[in-house]
Amino acid sequence: MDIMHGDLRRNGSNQSVPSRHGWIDMEALSPLADQSIMPGEWSVGLCDCFGDLHTCCLTLWCPCVTFGRTAEIVDRGSTSCCMSGTLYYLLSTIGWQWLYGCAKRSSMRSQYSLRESPCMDCCVHFWCGPCALCQEYTELQKRGFHMAKGISSPPHLPTV
C-alpha cells in the first residue's frame, strides 16, 4: 500500500473514495477490529453506558461532541465533527436533536448490518438519547475507530 502524507488511496484500486481528509480505502472500513462482534448484534447494550466512564461523562456533559464524532465516521467524512455537533446542539435548543440522532443511528445500522433494537431508532433517541449516543460511540470504538481522530484514521490502516 502506498501511503504518502495522509493519502489513503491504494495504487490501482477503485475502492477508494475522496473525503475532506484525503482518500479513504473503503475495503479497509469493512473488517471488524473486534472479531468477537457478531453481525447484526450491537457490541454493547443500550443501557451499558457506565461500562466506559470516559464516554459516559463525555456524553453527559457534551453530547454534541459524542454525536459529532460518531456522525463524521458514519458519514465517512462527508460532514465534519464540528458541523454535525453544532447542528445537534442547535436542534437540542428546541428539543429536536433526537430526529438527527435517529437518522444517524439508522445510517450506522445499515452500514454495519445492526439490528434495530430494543425498539425503533427514533424511539431510542427520543427516550434514551444519551444511552443511544454512548452505544453508537462505543460500537465504532470496538470496530477499530479512534473517535477523537475521526475518519482521518480508519481502522486497520497505518497512519503517517
List pLDDT tens digits, range 51-77: 889 999 999 999 999 999 999 999 999
pLDDT > 80? residue 157: no
Mean pLDDT, residues 28-32 taken together: 46
- Confidence class for position 22, pLDDT limits 50, 70, 90: low
Mean pLDDT, residues 9-16 taken together: 42
- Confidence class for position 48, pLDDT limits 50, 70, 90: confident
pTM for this structure?
Answer: 0.72
Which helix (DSSP H) or strand (DSSP E) does residue 17 occupy? strand 16-19
pLDDT > 60? residue 83: yes
| CA 125 from centre of chain | 15
Instruction: Retrieve residue 9's grid coordinates.
Output: 488511496
- For residues 116 and 160, which has the higher predicted lDDT (pLDDT)? 116
Contacts of 90 by beta carbon, 8 Å cutoff, 6+ apart = none
Count of Cβ atoms closer than 10 Å to residue 48 Cβ: 15
With CA atoms as reference, report the closest residue to 129 among 148, 152, 105, 107: 105
| Lowest mean per-residue pLDDT among 1-10, 22-31, 131-140, 141-150 | 1-10
Condensed to tens digits (0 to 9), the pLDDT of residues 100-155 reads 999 999 999 999 999 888 889 999 999 999 999 999 999 999 999 989 888 776 56
Contacts of 141 by beta carbon, 8 Å cutoff, 6+ apart = 52, 55, 147
Burial of 78 by CB count in 10 Å (0-12 exposed, 13-18 middle, 19+ buried)? Answer: middle
